[in-house]
Structure formats: structure tokens, C-alpha cells
Amino acid sequence: MGATDDTTAGHVEIERWWPHLSIEAKHRLLAELDAAIDAETVAEIESLTGGMAPDRLTLVEQQYVITQIEAVD
């Protein structure tokens, strides 16, 4: 189970939607990891999962995203 706190309670875990997110949405999130998630990306997350998207990524979720884009040796 992913990390939850007051800002992520009830939201779909990032592990469920990040791998399926469009390249464009990933780029929008990566441009400003600590900013509020834009409406277009929120809509895509909710469409993919049928659940609620977070307003912004937690620090743990930001770290998850970074590990997903790092090159593997």
C-alpha cells in the first residue's frame, strides 16, 4: 500500500496509475513535481483508475516518480 496522509486519503495509489499515464501527462508532472497537479492530468488519472486523483504528489510519491524515470544500469 502507498503512503497516505491527510492530503492523499481516499486517492488512488500512484503505483496504480503512473505506469499507465500518457507521456504528455508524465512530462507535465515532471516539470513541477511539487506543484498542484493540473486539471488535464487529474482527469486522465481519474479516467484510468475510476477513483480520485490527488491534488499534488506527496514527497514519497515524488520519490517514486523519480525512481521510475532513473536509468537502470
Residue 64 lies in a domain: yes
Does residue 7 belong to any structural domain of this protein? no
Instruction: Write down the pLDDT at residue 1.
Output: 42
Mind spelling out the 3-state secondary structure of 26-72?
A: HHHHHHCCCCECCHHHHHHHHHHHCCECCCECCHHHHHHHHHHHCCC
Domain assignment present for residue 18? The answer is yes
Stated pTM of the model:
0.82
What was the pLDDT predicted at 71? 66
Range(s) of the domain holding residue 44: 14-69
Domain annotation covers residue 9: no
Indicate whether 1 belongs to any domain. no
Number of compact structural domains in the chain: 1
55, 36 contact by CB (below 8 A): yes
Domain assignment present for 6: no
Residue tagged 504528489 (cell numbers): 57
Residue 51 resides in a domain: yes
> Which amino acid, one-letter code, is at 23?
I
Residue 8 lies in a domain: no
- In the prediction, which pLDDT does 10 show? 83
